[in-house]
Amino acid sequence: MRTRTRQIDERFPLPVSEKAILTRAVRRFPKCLRNVPNWFVTEPYEVPGSMYFGRYSPVTLQPLRYDQAGDYVPLHIAIQTWKDHGHWFDGVGFHVTSPWVVLVVQNCVTPTGNVTKRAKAVIKRLHGHWEFTRNGKDIQGILSWPQRLQSRSGVVAGHPVFLCGEGVCGVTGRIVPGCGGDPASSDQDAFSVMLYEMATKSAVDVLARPRQDTKGGGGAKCEQLRLFDEP
């Protein structure tokens, strides 16, 4: 009887089959984030996948020291550490720091698992990379912004939102359909207006999208970005 052995790629410590799984997991995230050394692993406080989790360094396997750059790793190493210690860790997380920010839109996922139309319109206007959060009720987007931002709360499209300018967030890799773009392509104009409205008004909404006007020989024209208070 022939004994089946697990194929090993000498350049990578995982068996080939597991390497394929890891590769697929990594590819759920934009290229601009994969090699950024901002990743760590998460330990569940309640049940696996909970919104409440412990933060651990894949380097030391000790509690994460937020101000120590050496505690963070690129994405593929964080995922490999999670897989290697699946009895302990339940996922990976991202260190949010300039030029990245994370915007969480709360309670915008319907019982059927869809994002409300108004919230979907907003995130499509902002661009960036959007995914469902661990609790299955919210969505979060990784966006880019050239200046460091303070974390803040507000209301957008009738939903409470939280903007994280510096901190940590757990990720899921469960992309919002049609919204898994590149954070580096965030619409800076739309985001700028939304930040202003969050700071000055109780609720905002992004309604307009760029429109191409080809009539009469005219070039591309952008409809004015409109934001307004919730009734």
pLDDT in tens, the chain (231 residues): 443 333 333 433 444 455 566 667 788 898 999 999 999 999 988 776 667 899 999 999 999 999 999 999 999 999 999 989 989 998 899 999 999 999 999 999 999 999 999 999 999 999 999 999 988 899 999 999 999 999 999 888 889 999 999 999 999 989 999 999 999 999 999 999 888 878 776 555 544 334 344 344 443 333 323 332 333
- Domain count of the chain? 2
Read off the tokens for 91: 């996922």
C-alpha–C-alpha distance, residues 184 and 30, integer Å: 9
73 and 147 share a domain?
no
Tell whether 60 is covered by a domain.
Answer: yes
133 and 55 share a domain?
no
Tell whether 217 is covered by a domain.
Answer: no
118 and 76 share a domain?
no
110 and 155 share a domain?
yes
Last residue of a domain, one of 39, 60, 93: 93
- Residue 24's pLDDT is what? 75
Last residue of a domain, one of 93, 126, 141: 93
Last residue of a domain, one of 45, 63, 93: 93
Instruction: Find the domain containing 46 and state its range.
Output: 16-93
pTM for the structure as a whole: 0.77
Tell whether 41 is covered by a domain.
Answer: yes
55 and 77 share a domain?
yes
- Residue 22's pLDDT is what? 60
84 and 22 share a domain?
yes
- Residue 98's pLDDT is what? 93
Distances (CA, A) of 202 to 5, 48, 96, 160: 62, 35, 25, 10
